[in-house]
A and B are shown apart, each in its own frame.
Chain A
Amino acid sequence: AQTVTQSQPEMSVQEAETVTLSCTYDTSESDYYLFWYKQPPSRQMILVIRQEAYKQQNATENRFSVNFQKAAKSFSLKISDSQLGDAAMYFCAYKEGRDDKIIFGKGTRLHILP
C-alpha cells in the first residue's frame, strides 16, 4: 500500500528566511502525482504545489518550490522568503494516476517567527 511520511511534526523559521519541509513516499507505481497542501487555522485546505511523477523538472509556484527525487521517493517543499501568512499545517499527499484517492501524510506544523 502507498504511504506518505512526513518526519517533521513541527518546524519553525524566521520571517524572510527559507525553510524546507520533508516528505517521503512509498509506491510501486510509475504513474502518480504528488502534492503539498496548506491548512491554515481556518482549516480550509489549499493546494500549494503539485508535481507529476513523469516530469523531471521540479515544480515551482512563486516562493514555493519542490525538490522531487523520484529514485529516492522524496518530495520536499522549500518555502523562500517566509511570511507570517505561511504559518499553517502542511500536508504532503500522493495520488495514483488511475485513482481518484489522495493519501495524506501526517502533516508538519510550520511556525513563522517574526
Chain B
Amino acid sequence: GAVVSQHPSWVICKSGTSVKIECRSLDFQATTMFWYRQFPKQSLMLMATSNEGSKATYEQGVEKDKFLINHASLTLSTLTVTSAHPEDSSFYICSASPLAGGWDEQFFGPGTRLTVL
C-alpha cells in the first residue's frame, strides 16, 4: 500500500524555538495532505488541510501563525510550530490523499511526538 513518512519521529525543543515536521508521500503524489494533533488517550483532531500549491485551510480554533503549513510539492508538506511552548507538546500526525474528493483513502504517517521543555 501507499506509504507516508514523517520526520522526525520525535523531537524535544526548548520553549520559544520553532520546530519543523515533514510529511512525505513516498510512492504516490498527494493532492491533499492533512495535519492532525492527538493528545494522550484522545482522538485525532484535524488541524488543517493543505493542497499543493495553495494556502492551507485551518480548522476553527487553530492558530495559523502558530502552526505554519507549507505544501510545496505533491510529495511533501511541512508543519512548523513557531515559538513553541509546553502546551504545544503533543503527537502530530499527517495523512495524505492521492486524489481530490471521492472516498479515496487517507494514508497516515507514523506520527511525530513533540515535547517542548
Contact = CB atoms under 8 A, between A and B. Distances in A.
Contact of A50 (B49, B101, B103): B103
A109 B97 CA distance: 26
Interface in A43-92: 43-47, 50, 52, 91
A52 B43 contact: no
A98 to B, nearest CB: 6
Interface stretch (B16-24, B68-76, B77-85, B106-114): B106-114
Given A33-B103, A50-B105, A97-B103, A44 B111 contact: yes
Contacts of A104: 43-44
A24 to B, nearest CB: 15
Interface string A29-46: 000010000000011111
Interface of A: 33, 42-47, 50, 52, 91, 95, 97-107, 109
